[in-house]
Amino acid sequence: MSKRTWALTLTAVLGLSILLTACVAGTVPGDGAAADTSGAAAAVTPAQTDGTPTTSLGNMSTVSTMVIDRGLDEIGRACIDCHKEIQPGIIHDWRESRHGHVGVSCLDCHQVDKNSPMATQHENLIGTDIYMSALVPAATCGRCHVNEVDQFNASGHFRAYRQQIPKDSLHALVFKHEGQENSEFGSAPNETGCIQCHGTEIQLDEENRPTSHTWPNSGVGNVYPDGSTGSCAVCHTRHKFSIAEARQPAACASCHLGPDHPDIEIYENSKHGQIYAIEGDEWNWDAAPDAWEPGDYRAPTCATCHMSGIGELQTTHNVSERLYWNLWAERSEVRNSNDPMSPLLGDGEAGREMMKQVCQACHSELHTDNFFEQGDRAVNLYNVAYYDEAKKMLDELGEKGLLEENPWTDDFQLVYYHLWHHEGRRARQGSLMAGPDWAHWHGFFELQQDLYELEDIYNRRIETGQID
Amino acid sequence: MTISFRLTWPRVLLGLLVFAVIGGFVFPFLAWLVADQGIAATSESDFCVSCHTMEPMEAAYLQDVHGGNSPYGVQAACVDCHLNHANSAAYFFDKIRTGSHDMWVQYMTDTSQIDWVEKREHRESYTYDSGCLHCHTQLQEATMANTKAFVAHKPYFLGTTERTCVNCHPNVGHKDLLDHLPVEEAAMR
């Protein structure tokens, strides 16, 4: 049968059944045309018939018919039954997740103790013994994912927010300058910028719900009202919590980007990134933790080098573990501390050896060693030829009272800031993650320009004894 | 009339036998009886809560599954969780140590100064996994059958974590304890 015949038959059958239904129901006896009109009218929502506009888009849930019993208790099922229509996106994610597979329900993560500072109750929970919170700190995940959270707690990600607490110059930048000390809106730069990557100390309103000044955010270092630190959902986003997702460079890129630490741009600039861009969609992203090896991928992503259990290496959620230098500080030093609050967290020598194990799953020893020798020379050059020289001038101008009080209007301090915080990091990180354009044109080229500019301003101020 | 007592070998042997029976069986039996009765008498939760300091803990405990608030008719006693069950010697030593400590604190110090809320931060120092596992003897096998519990307890049984039971089950044994502790301390949280 041709398509046309099919269509005609289908229309005829449909038309007949509508007519029949209408006749049986007695709506419009015997009149086919009128029965059609009635059918159309019935499809219009009552609100529209009234002429009252409605903002509801209707039930768009693709999971609205889902009824799940397996592994859930009565309350656990009730969450899903309601939220599958209110936030079908959440339930859709969950049913695709490993949590959904093993019966980890909403309650397992969102239920809190009655005495928890974050405890709230839905109207349908009032009178029960069940308390919930929208907030799920890493500590909750750690009840099952023990080792992962312990490793996170020992990593640099742990201090993402905590390190900002004592930094007065940073608070001045964000609130005084960027927020213009506006009493009503001045917190906006912090809320829409800083806390979305670094996290913040989450505050609660009188009903124990997080305030808009502190939440929502995607900050990895959030400090929660129960005192725990960290958010896992930053890299493994809600409510799928996918290992495959966190292995993709995009998982890191929402924070590790931009002029001051263009890590995703460096990666894209690298040969690793080139291969990923061309064929990454064909790789196996789903292998079990510690079992993801070369062959599953043809080039590493951020997670491969910094976290994955390649060869004999063990998987780690301590992203500082395989690092030799601190490449974000004003001056790079070799890591030598066990304190997660220290910028030098890690054991540099041991970290380098671990990183080399990742490299050597694909590269020869000579290739690996020579690569790091190139990168280390770049870091050392930055330290002695740029940072040390710039710092010497800064200190001398400071001693002689030749620096403005507001660093953000002072040419010298502005260029100095860019030298270490932007250009200097680009040169160092570009060199050690094989992004030549960032090492050179956005890095060392800019650095020499910065240095000459600083020398120029310095000489003028020393000669005239004045800030011009 | 004098009673002559001559030390003869049969008499010596009889004496030794009586001594051996008393020293080897009767005395140890009496000692065991006293110790066992003593331990039993001081192992009931009623004994622990006879000190008024323990009233909040008791109130919260009675509302908890471990305190008998379940349909199963089982109740764990204080000592089941708060004494080391690694072996009899450890149990006995710990009983003496904590018992005498608590006695001293109760009668010789001002117990209203104790910050119970703060003590909850190092809960692993006064609860014992050996106690938990003394009752939950089949936990390892049981969690194998329950996928989510399996993942959660695997690092524990593999020994790849230093966490103890109460690190992940922080409120076990005393339901909503903060509701029962003195008000000013609860407000500190």
Q: What is the pLDDT of residues A393-413, one digit of tens each?
A: 999 999 999 999 999 999 999
In this prediction, residues A14-34 reach a mean pLDDT of 45
Contacts for A406 with CB less than 8 Å, ≥ 6 apart: A177
- How many residues appear in chain B? 189
pLDDT band at residue A49 under the 50/70/90 scheme: very low
Q: What proportion of chain A, given as a percentage, has pLDDT over 70?
A: 87
Partnered with residue A206 across adjacent β-strands are none
pLDDT band at residue A5 under the 50/70/90 scheme: low
B155, B170, B179: residue with CB nearest A147:
B155
A115, A142, A143: residue with CB nearest B178:
A115
What's the token pair of residue A466? 């004045």
Q: In this structure, what DSSP letter does residue A120 have?
A: B
Using a CB-CB cut-off of 8 Å, the residues of chain A touching B117 are none
Q: A426: closest CA among A410, A411, A415, A442?
A: A442
B152, B160, B170: residue with CB nearest A144:
B152
pLDDT value, residue B146: 81
User: Which residue has better confidence, A16 or A312?
Assistant: A312
Is the Cβ pair B148, A71 closer than 8 Å? Answer: yes
Interface of B with A in 111-150 (CB under 8 A): 147-148
Using a CB-CB cut-off of 8 Å, the residues of chain A touching B156 are 146
Using a CB-CB cut-off of 8 Å, the residues of chain A touching B147 are 71, 101-103
Interface of B with A in 67-106 (CB under 8 A): none
Is the Cβ pair A115, B160 closer than 8 Å? Answer: no
Report residue A287: phi and psi, to 5°: -55, 155
Contacts for B119 with CB less than 8 Å, ≥ 6 apart: B126
Three-state DSSP class for residue A347: strand
Q: B95: closest CA among B105, B111, B108, B82?
A: B82
Q: Which amino acid belongs to residue A412?
A: F
For A131, the enclosing helix (H) or strand (E) is strand A131-132
CB contact at 8 A, A345 and A335: yes
CB contact at 8 A, B76 and B66: yes
ipTM of the complex: 0.75
pLDDT tens for A408-427 read 999 999 999 999 999 999 99
pLDDT value, residue A42: 40
pLDDT value, residue A73: 80
**Helices A3-25 and A32-43, packing angle to 10 deg:** 90
pLDDT value, residue A148: 95
Residue A466 pLDDT exceeds 90: yes
- Using an 8 Å CB-CB cutoff, list residues of chain A that contact chain B: 71, 101-104, 108, 113-115, 117, 142-147, 150
pLDDT value, residue A203: 97
Contacts for B83 with CB less than 8 Å, ≥ 6 apart: B91, B94, B95, B98, B128, B131
pLDDT value, residue B61: 95
What does pTM read for this prediction? Answer: 0.83
What's the token pair of residue A162? 């905590």
Residues of chain B under the 70 pLDDT cut? 1-3, 183-189
What's the token pair of residue B136? 């939950």
Residue in chain B nearest A225 by alpha carbon: B189
Using left for φ > 0, alpha for ψ between -120 and 50, and beta otherwise, residue A314 falls in beta
pLDDT value, residue A161: 97
R_g over Cα of chain A: 30
User: Which residue has better confidence, A127 or A199?
Assistant: A199
How far apart are alpha carbons B105 and B110 in whole angstroms? 8
Q: Locate all alpha helices (DSSP H) within chain B, ordered by sequence.
A: 9-21, 27-41, 45-48, 55-62, 78-82, 88-108, 116-119, 129-135, 139-144, 147-158, 165-168, 177-180, 183-187
Handedness of CA A179, A181, A186, A191 (dihedral sign): positive
Is the Cβ pair A102, B148 closer than 8 Å? Answer: yes
Residue A44 pLDDT exceeds 60: no
R_g over Cα of chain B: 24
Q: Closest Cα of chain B to A289: distance in Å?
A: 13
Q: Tell whether omega for the bond before A407 is within 30 degrees of 0, i.e. cis.
A: no
Residue A97 pLDDT exceeds 50: yes
In this prediction, residues A362-376 reach a mean pLDDT of 98
pLDDT value, residue A93: 95
Report residue A120: phi and psi, to 5°: -135, 165
pLDDT tens for A127-168 read 988 999 999 999 999 999 999 999 999 999 999 999 999 999
pLDDT value, residue A51: 45
Q: For chain A, what is the mean pLDDT?
A: 89
Q: Closest Cα of chain A to B153: distance in Å?
A: 7
Report residue A336: phi and psi, to 5°: -160, 40
Report residue A112: phi and psi, to 5°: -125, 165
Based on DSSP, count helices (H) and strands (E) in chain B, helices before strands. Answer: 13, 0
pLDDT value, residue B152: 86
pLDDT tens for B22-42 read 888 999 999 999 988 988 888
pLDDT value, residue A94: 94
Q: Name the residue with tokens 């993801």.
A: A292
Is the Cβ pair B161, A103 closer than 8 Å? Answer: no
Q: In this structure, what DSSP letter does residue A334 have?
A: B
In this prediction, residues A240-256 reach a mean pLDDT of 97
pLDDT value, residue A4: 55
Question: How many CB contacts within 8 angstroms connect chain A with chain B?
Answer: 42
Contacts for B103 with CB less than 8 Å, ≥ 6 apart: none
